[in-house]
Chain A
Amino acid sequence: MQQETARSGTIEITYREAVREAIRDAIKRDNRVFLMGEDVGRYGGCYAVTKGLFAELGPERIRDTPLSESGFTGAGIGAAMAGMRPIVELMTVNFSLLALDQILNNAATIRHMSGNQFGVPLVIRMATGAGRQLAAQHSHSLEGWYAHIAGIKVLAPATVEDARGMLWTALEDPDPVLIFENVMLYNMSGKLAADAGPVNIDKAAVRRPGRDISLITYGGSLWKTLDAATTLAAEGIEAEVIDLRSLRPLDDATIMASVAKTRRAVIIDEGWRSGSLAAEVGMRIVEQAFWALDAPIGRVCSEEVPVPYPSHLENATIPQAPKIVAAAKAALGRP
C-alpha cells in the first residue's frame, strides 16, 4: 500500500494503486459511476487493479460480466445514453477487437448521427502493449487504430499522476473516452501528491526540456525515451521529451513549439510503423513545422511482426532505449 510521507505531502504509490484509487474515488463521488468488466469483481481484476473494490463497493457498482465483450460494451453504451457514467474495462486491447463494432458504430457515431439528441458519456479502460512474453495474440499495441476514430477521445496515462487524475476528467466528458494502460507500467511506482486530483486530458507534457532534438512519445515508451535522453545527455546532446498524454485529439501546439526550437524530431510508438500514430504525428510536423526542420523526421516503432514469445525476440520487436538513441543521433548527423 502507499507509504505516507507526511512531511512533504507526497506518497509513494504504484501505477496500479493509482488507477484503483481513481476508480474508488469516482464511484464514491458519483452514484452514476460503476465499473463493468470480466473478473473485475470477485477475482479483483486480471492485473489486480480492482482488488478489494468488490468487497468495499458491492456487486452493483463493481459488476463482473460474462465473456461477452460486444454485449457488455454495448450495454455500457446503452447505460451511458440513459444517464449512467459507466467505466467498461476491456481486459486488454487484444479483446477489444470483439467490441470494435459497438465502439465505432454506436459509441463514436450516435451523437453525430442522431443530430446531437443522444450522447455517450462512457469511459472504456484497457491494458495495452507487449513485454510480458504473452506472444502475439496478447501483446498488441493498437492505440493508433482507436486514435483514428472520429467521435471518441483516446488517452495514454504514462505517469502515476495521470493514472490517478485522468479518469475523473474522462468521466465528466460528455463523449466516449478510451484510456490505455500499458501493462509494463502497473508495477511501476512513483511520487504522487497525497491530495492528487483530476488532471487535464487534452495537453501534451514536456517531461524533459532540451534544445537539440524532440523525442515525442506516449504511454509505456515514455520511460525508455527518458532513459535514452539521459544517455544522449552524457554525450552532450540535450533531448526534449514530449509525453503526448492525449492521442486524440493531439496537442499540435506543444509538439510544434518543441520542433520549432530543436528543429529535429524522432517519434517513439510501440505500434507497427505502417499507418501508425507515429506516421500521423510525423505528417502533422511536416504540415505545420516544415520550414523549421533541419533533418528528416525519425520514427522508432515495433518491428512489423506478430510479437514472438521468447523474450530476446520480444525485446528485439518493440522499441528500446538504444534504438531511440541511435535514431536521435542519426537525426543529428552524429555517428
Chain B
Amino acid sequence: MTALADKPHLSREHMLDLFKQMIRIRHFEDKCYELYTQEKIRGFMHLYDGEEAIAVGIIPVLEKRDRIVSAYREHGHALVRGVPMTAVMAEMYGKQEGCSRGRGGSMHLFDRATNFHGGNAIVGGGLPLAVGLALADHMQGGDIVVVCFFGDGAVAEGEFHESLNLAALWGLSVLFVCENNLYGMGTALALSESETDIQRKAACYRIAAEAVDGMDVVAVEAAARRAIHAVRNNRKPYFLECRTYRLRAHSMFDAQLYRDRTEIEAWRPKEPIIRFQGWLQSNHMIHPEDIPRIEAEVDAEIAEAIAFAEAGTWEPVEHLTRFVYAESAVPADR
C-alpha cells in the first residue's frame, strides 16, 4: 500500500467514504447474485467482485459535467457515478421504473442526469463513442473529460486501435481505463495478446500511459487524479491500465474451466476491500463500530432498492414501438 505521508487527501472521512463505496458495490452485487438464482434477474449479468477499487478510485474524481462510457461489467461504475440504486435494481428486474425504462437490463444502464452513456455489450463497442463524445466537446470549446472503461479483452478489437489513434490524432480529452482482470471471458490474457503489458500499447499512438495496482483504491485514486488533471489540461488522451482480478465467474453461467480454485483463493486476500480494511485498521483510521454501521447503511439502501424493484411495473406491451424514433414531429418541409 502506498505510504500514508504523501497522500494529502487521506482524511478519515474520505477514507471511510471510499471504504463504504466499495462495500456498497460488493453487497449490491452479492444480492444480485442471490436474486438471479431466484430468477428475479435474467439474461447476462457480469459481476465486479474484486475490481471495486477501480470505479471507487476514479469516478468520484470526475466533475459532474464529465461523461462516462462503460461496458457490460458496469454496475460498480453506475453506482459510484450516482445512478440511483433503486433505478439500477429496477432495471435489472426489467421494470419500467429502471434507469433505461427496463429495456436494457444489466448490460445497458443509461442515465442522462449523470452523463452515464451506457454499458455496451459489444466488446470494444464503447470506445468510438467515447471518442465522439470528446470530439463534440472539443468542437464546442468545452473542457470535459470522457472516461471510457473496458476490459483487457477489448484491446484485441480493431476499434480499440482505431479509437486510440483518433483520440491522439485529434487531441481529444479521453481517459482510456483498461480494467485488466487477466481474463477475456474464458481466455487468459497470455493466450490472446502477444504483448501482455497492455499499457505499452498506448505508446504506439504517443498516448501517455501508466499501470496501477487495481486492488489498491488509494493508489488508483492518486493515479486518477494525475490522469484526469493531465487529460483536462493537456487536452490529450491518457491511458490507465488498472491491474486487477475478478473473484467471481465471467458471468452467472460459467463453470470457470479456464482457471482452478487455488488461483482464486490466492487472490482472495488481495481483494480491495480486505486490503483497504487492513490498511485502515493498521493506520487507526477506522473504529470497530464503523464497519457494522457502514454495512447496515448499505444493506438498508439495498433493501429499499429491492422493494422499489419488486413494486416496479412492467412496461405495457402497447409501448413496445415507442422511442424507436423520436416522437417530436420532424419539420418535413420548410
Interface residue? B331 (CB, 8 A): yes
Proximity string of chain B (273-292) to chain A, C-beta cutoff 8 Å, 1 when within and 0 when not? 00000000000000000000
- Rounded to whole Å, the gap between the CB of B172 and the closest CB of chain A is 9
Residues of B within 8 A of A220 (CB): none
B2 at the interface (CB under 8 A from A): no
Known: A71-B159, A201-B332, A202-B332. A81 touches B165 (CB 8 A): no
- In the complex formed, the residue of A with least CB distance to B69 is A78
Asked if B227 is at the interface (CB within 8 A of a chain A CB), the reply is: no
User: Which residue of A60, A68, A114 contacts B139 across the interface (Cβ within 8 Å)?
Assistant: A60
Q: Are B101 and A78 in contact (CB under 8 A)?
A: no
With contacts A68-B162, A79-B132, A112-B324 taken as known, whether A34 is within 8 angstroms of B139 at the C-beta atoms is yes
Task: Indicate whether A308 reaches chain B with its CB closer than 8 angstroms.
Answer: no
Partner of A200, one of B103, B134, B324, B332: B332
Residues from chain B with a CB closer than 8 A to the CB of A105 are: 121-122, 125
Among A81, A168, A174, the residue within 8 A (CB) of B326 is A174
Q: B232 at the A/B interface (Cβ < 8 Å)? A: no
- Residue-wise, chain B 111-138 has the 8 Å CB interface mask toward A (1 for contact) of 1100001101110010111111111110
- B133 to A175, Cβ gap below 8 A? no
Task: Please count how many residues in chain A sit with their CB below 8 Å of the partner chain's CB atoms.
Answer: 50
| Complex contacts, B325 vs chain A, CB 8 Å | 111, 151, 153, 174-175
| Residues of chain B whose beta carbon lies under 8 Å from any beta carbon of chain A | 67, 69, 96, 98-104, 108, 110-112, 117-118, 120-122, 125, 127-137, 139-140, 158-159, 162-163, 165-166, 169-170, 322-328, 330-334
Residues in B neighbouring A92, C-beta threshold 8 A: none
Q: Is the interface of B mostly helix, strand, loop or mixed?
A: loop
**Chain A residues whose CB sits within 8 angstroms of the CB of B104 once the complex forms:** 113-115
Q: Among the listed A66, A74, A112, A169, which residue makes an inter-chain contact with B128, where contact means beta carbons less than 8 Å apart?
A: A74
Contact partner, B127, options A74, A117, A197, Cβ 8 Å: A74
Q: How far is the CA of A200 from the CA of B330 in the complex (A)?
A: 10
Q: Does A239 sit at the interface, judged by CB under 8 A?
A: no
Instruction: Let me know if B110 and A102 touch, CB within 8 A.
Output: no
Q: Name the B residues within 8 Å of A330 (CB-CB).
A: none
A94 at the B interface (CB under 8 A): no
B133 and A79 within 8 A (CB): yes
Residue of B nearest to A105 (CB): B122
Within 8 A of B (CB), among A26-62: 34, 60
Interface status of A101 (Cβ within 8 A of chain B)? yes
A310 interface residue, CB < 8 Å from B? no
Number of A-B contacts (CB under 8 A): 168
Given A173-B330, A174-B326, A202-B332, A71 contacting B128 (CB threshold 8 A): yes
A134-150 near B? 1/0 per residue, CB < 8 Å: 00000000000000001
B324 near A111 with CB under 8 A, answer: yes
The distance in angstroms between the C-alpha atoms of A202 and B332, with both chains bound, is 8
Known: A74-B125, A118-B112. A175 touches B326 (CB 8 A): yes
Contact between B131 and A74 (Cβ–Cβ < 8 Å)? yes
The verdict on A115 contacting B332 (CB below 8 Å), with A74-B131, A83-B136 known, is: no
A168–B125 alpha-carbon span in the complex (Å): 29
Q: Which A residues touch B328, using CB under 8 A?
A: 174
Interface pair B324/A118, CB less than 8 Å apart? no
The list of the 9 closest CB pairs from A to B, nearest first, reads A78-B132, A74-B128, A115-B101, A71-B162, A68-B162, A82-B136, A114-B110, A174-B326, A75-B132
Q: Given B110, B132, B162, which contacts A82 in the complex, CB threshold below 8 Å?
A: B132
A151 & B333 in contact (Cβ 8 Å cutoff): no
Known contacts A77-B129, A114-B110, A115-B110; A70 and B159 CB within 8 A of each other = yes
Q: Which of A63, A81, A116 contacts B323 (CB 8 A)?
A: A116
Inter-chain CA distance A71–B325, complex, in Å, is 24
